[in-house]
Amino acid sequence: MKLLNHLDAFITEETRLFGEILLSRSPVSNHFLATHRKDGDCHHDMLERLTTVQEVRDLAKFDEHGEYRPLKTAPSLKSGWLIEESDIESFYLKIDAIYPAGFAGTVKYLEKAVDPVPLRRTLDRQTGMYQFAKNITDTQANQIMRDTCAKGCLRKIAWPLDEQCAVSHLPEPGRKIPIICLEACTFAVSEARRLAREAYDKANALS
């Protein structure tokens, strides 16, 4: 099934949650609708209509305090807006501007068309100053998943720790459509480097 057909099939009159976005279809016009989850009960006239992809990109750039959002799946998307489209392609492009490659990754994962990359393979590939990241222990890796990923990101991790670990299979989406993390991002790699470096410096200071 094509990506756009998947999105079309996911969106019904009953709202579904994708990250912080509520997706639904208008029972009156049959248009595709998206709002921030905080605005689920707001009258649409009270929300700012985002009519171009650039407007949506601009929205996703900064949080409500004006701080830059380097990680687009951080739980800090501004509220107060509405996307309404009659065609699925225009709608998809706007959703993709909020969570780049988010829906495409989820569909690939659900179709088993892509293998999540084990964390250790990602770390082993690092070069330059990031090479140090490969020295993290399993405990530190779990710390990254708990403190960096689970607290600061809406993606659901599908990658295993190493080649020996089984890939986790997340359940079929219900009301919530997960944004799947198929490979550790630069934030997780940076954190791995920081933790490994800290442990190394501590060990050397003691010796």
The contact set with ligand SF4 (CB under 6 A) reads 73, 148-149, 153, 155, 157, 181, 184-185, 187-188
DSSP 64-124: TTS-B-SSTTSS----SEEEEESSHHHHHHHHHHHSTTHHHHHHHHHTT-SPPPPHHHHHH
Residue closer to ligand SF4 (CB basis): 11 or 123: 123
As separate numbers, helices (DSSP H) first and strands (DSSP E) second, the chain gives: 8, 8
Q: What minimum distance in Å lies between the beta carbon of 185 and ligand SF4?
A: 3
Question: Which position has the token pair 């934030």?
Answer: 187
Q: What minimum distance in Å lies between the beta carbon of 191 and ligand SF4?
A: 9
Residue closer to ligand SF4 (CB basis): 33 or 189: 189
The tally of CA atoms less than 13 A away on the side-chain side of residue 25 is 13
> Phi/psi of residue 174, each to 5°?
-105, -120
Residue closer to ligand SF4 (CB basis): 177 or 181: 181
Residue closer to ligand SF4 (CB basis): 185 or 199: 185
Q: What minimum distance in Å lies between the beta carbon of 157 and ligand SF4?
A: 5
* Torsion angle of the four alpha carbons 163, 166, 172, 175, in this order, in degrees rounded to the nearest 10: -80
Residue type, 2: K
Q: What minimum distance in Å lies between the beta carbon of 98 and ligand SF4?
A: 14
Q: What minimum distance in Å lies between the beta carbon of 183 and ligand SF4?
A: 8
The answer to whether 102 touches 96, Cβ cutoff 8 Å, is yes
Residue closer to ligand SF4 (CB basis): 36 or 105: 105
